[in-house]
Chain A
Amino acid sequence: MKEISELIKKDFLLELRQRYAINAILLYVVSTVFVVQLAFGRIIDANTWITLFWIIMLFAAFNAVSKSFLQEHQTRWLYYFTLASPQSIILSKIIYNSILMVLLGFLSLLLYVLFMGMPEFNHAILYPVFILGCIGLASTLTMVSAIASNAGNNMALMAILGFPIVLPLLLLVINSFKIALSAEIFTLQLIKSIGSLFLIDTVVVIMAALLFPYLWHK
């Protein structure tokens, strides 16, 4: 636990010094949202609103998370592995990226609402789904970027590997957002969608913790 918290602290320190992720991704979100507003105008129907938002989030997540294993030099990784166990390294990365994604997600949501307005959601469902979705995107893509970093750190490969894996999660989140639109909520539907989001997140974290050591088994 100590190892994990130290590693997360290190990642945040790096981020605060470089200010790369937050600034770059926010700029990306601003420009995309602006293009969306120019193209669609302010009035779009709720389904388009949801879908566009999550497509923007998907690419923001790819940009934000992909650097987690690309940013640092190969030799520094060797140094980390003399200090910490592989499990705590992947877990710290997943936690750090999840926090980053939730923060970025809320900022993007704010910007998106500012430019595009907001359909009437049931907020009690919207935010849990939103947070679980961000955590899921971040943890899945962290594992994918760990895999891609073994194959020459290539961004195109990251997109190819990540897309089919992330798609189930994305469809589920979009589906849950659509459920949050309806005024009357069926409890069963709610449990189903939040439950399966939670299931995906848990499976991803467990699989990452189990499989990551093999990626560094040198």
Chain B
Amino acid sequence: MLRNWWWKLLGLLAIIYSIIAGLTIQVPKLPVIYQTIRNLFFHVPLWFTMFVMFGTSLVYSIKYLNKLKPGDDVAASQSVNTGLFFGLLGLLTGMIWAKNTWGDYWTNDPQLNGAAVSILAYLAYNVLRASIDERALRARVSAVYNIFSFMLLVIFLGVLPRLADSSLHPGKGGNSSAMADLDPAMRLVFYPAVAGWIIIGFWILEIRKRKRKLEMFLEQS
């Protein structure tokens, strides 16, 4: 199924649609955020894609520890890299938005802290991979670290924001609650945008996996 081309086309169309519609549709006028609510169509799907990619890498890491197939290790590490790429894009769109809405690029917000810590953890994962030369050992140790840190990050992202119960994020206590009662017209753009970016994420992942496998093949021969 993944070798077919139709799902790539679907993802591309969804993204083009979400960009055009996201910039042109009528949005409800909410205090403080006003027109910047359109960032919902870009920033939020990028974060979702990042978490889907990190989740994919968790699945591949568990698969690797079960079967010890090198292909799963390549997939796990490339999902992390793709996730980091989407994470940086999400961070960038979020920071530009925050500068214009909250007046600062970075604030002490539970959601921001969670995002920063997950990106740090996966950068550490890459450092760990770089520091081990032997291929099988590297695959095993990094899979263990991936699973261990993912579990703790889930607790961090799931429990701590609820403990703090004061987030600046729209829909999470701060500003206007945009997510809770999202405009139906905006939903029609938001869901395709999420689906589209996730599909593009898997497309990038496929290409990266193939590239890495070819590189490994060339190294051996």
Chain A contact residues, CB within 8 Å of chain B: 140, 143, 147, 150-152, 154, 157, 160-161, 163-165, 167-168, 171-172, 175, 192-193, 196, 199-200, 203-204, 207-208, 211, 214-215, 217
**Given A151-B132, A157-B131, A163-B120, A199–B141 Cβ distance below 8 Å?**
no
Which of A154, A171, A203 contacts B151 (CB under 8 A)?
A203
Q: Contact at A168–B155, with CB atoms within 8 Å?
A: yes
**Given A152-B131, A163-B120, A167-B117, A200–B152 Cβ distance below 8 Å?**
yes
* CB-CB contacts below 8 Å: B128-151 with A: 128, 131-132, 137, 140-141, 143-145, 147-149, 151
A48 CB → nearest B CB, Å: 16
- In the assembly, what is the distance between CA of A199 and CA of B128, in Å? 27
In the complex, besides A203-B152, A207-B147, 10 extra interface pairs with C-beta distance below 8 angstroms are A147-B145, A154-B131, A161-B124, A161-B128, A164-B120, A164-B153, A165-B121, A196-B155, A199-B155, A200-B155
Q: Contact at B163–A160, with CB atoms within 8 Å?
A: no
Q: Contact at A215–B140, with CB atoms within 8 Å?
A: yes
B169 CB → nearest A CB, Å: 18
Looking at chain B's contact residues, the main secondary structure is helix
Looking at chain A's contact residues, the main secondary structure is helix
In the complex, whether B65 has a CB less than 8 A from a CB of chain A is yes
Can you spell out 26 A-B residue pairs with CB atoms less than 8 angstroms apart?
Answer: A140-B152, A147-B141, A147-B144, A147-B148, A150-B137, A151-B131, A152-B132, A154-B131, A157-B128, A161-B145, A164-B117, A164-B120, A164-B121, A164-B124, A164-B149, A165-B121, A167-B156, A168-B153, A172-B159, A175-B164, A203-B151, A203-B155, A208-B148, A214-B140, A215-B140, A217-B140
Closest to A215 in B: B144
- In the assembly, what is the distance between CA of A80 and CA of B94, in Å? 51
Which residues on the B side are within 8 Å of A161 (C-beta)?
124, 127-128, 145
In the complex, whether B160 has a CB less than 8 A from a CB of chain A is yes
Closest to B122 in A: A164
How many interface residues does B have (CB within 8 Å)?
A: 29
- In the assembly, what is the distance between CA of A151 and CA of B144, in Å? 13
Which residues on the B side are within 8 Å of A208 (C-beta)?
148
Which residues on the A side are within 8 Å of B131 (C-beta)?
151-152, 154, 157
Which residues on the A side are within 8 Å of B121 (C-beta)?
164-165
B142 CB → nearest A CB, Å: 9
**Given A151-B132, A154-B131, A214-B65, A160–B124 Cβ distance below 8 Å?**
yes
Indicate the member of A143, A151, A171 with the most B CB atoms within 10 Å.
Answer: A151
Q: Contact at A172–B140, with CB atoms within 8 Å?
A: no
Q: Contact at B141–A151, with CB atoms within 8 Å?
A: yes
Which of B143, B149, B156, B163 contacts A214 (CB under 8 A)?
B143
Which residues on the B side are within 8 Å of A157 (C-beta)?
127-128, 131
Closest to B65 in A: A214
- In the assembly, what is the distance between CA of A167 and CA of B65, in Å? 26
Which residues on the B side are within 8 Å of A163 (C-beta)?
120, 124
Q: Contact at B149–A165, with CB atoms within 8 Å?
A: yes
A6 CB → nearest B CB, Å: 26
B203 CB → nearest A CB, Å: 28
A180 CB → nearest B CB, Å: 14
- In the assembly, what is the distance between CA of A163 and CA of B125, in Å? 12
- In the assembly, what is the distance between CA of A154 and CA of B141, in Å? 15
**Given A151-B128, A152-B132, A196–B148 Cβ distance below 8 Å?**
no
Q: Contact at B148–A165, with CB atoms within 8 Å?
A: yes
Which residues on the A side are within 8 Å of B132 (C-beta)?
150-152
A63 CB → nearest B CB, Å: 19
- In the assembly, what is the distance between CA of A150 and CA of B147, in Å? 16
